[in-house]
Structure formats: C-alpha cells, structure tokens
Amino acid sequence: MDVATVAPAIWLHAVRIFGSEQKASRWMETRLSELNDRTPAEVLANDPNDDGVETILDRIEYGVFG
C-alpha cells in the first residue's frame, strides 16, 4: 500500500518527523499497540481518514510517549 497516495498529508507528516522517507516507511510498517497491534499503513488502508495515526505522530513530534 502506498501511504503517500492514500493519505498524503499523514505521509508528509511522518517524513518530516522521522527525517527520511525510508525511516517513515519503516515506521508505517511497524505494528503498534496503540493501533491494536496493526501497522499505521494497515490502519490507513482501511480508513485514510482515521485520526489514530496522526495522533501518534503528533505525540512523537511533541515528545509525549506512553
């Protein structure tokens, strides 16, 4: 799934936070407990408007973990 096509704003946010497309892509394919053990890419493939991925990116950006 191409996150850049399905959810371009979220993709750009991830690239900005992680510093490269490669790191953002790796994160998009990582299973996260906050997403019920799904990857951000899976969540966005099912619903590009789901705000869960964006919320996690915001927390990472502002240093709020856990």
Classify residue 66: in a domain, yes or no.
no
- Among 60, 47, 59, 44, smallest CA distance to 11 is for 44
Classify residue 8: in a domain, yes or no.
yes
Structure confidence by residue, pLDDT tens digits, 7-24: 999 999 999 999 999 999
Domain that holds residue 46: 3-61
CA–CA separation, 22 vs 25, rounded Å? Answer: 5
Structure confidence by residue, pLDDT tens digits, 44-63: 999 998 999 999 999 999 99
User: What confidence tier does 29 reach under pLDDT thresholds 50, 70, 90?
Assistant: very high
Structure tokens at 25: 């892509």
Classify residue 48: in a domain, yes or no.
yes
Number of domains in the chain: 1
Is the separation of the CB atoms in 31 and 38 below 8 Å?
A: yes
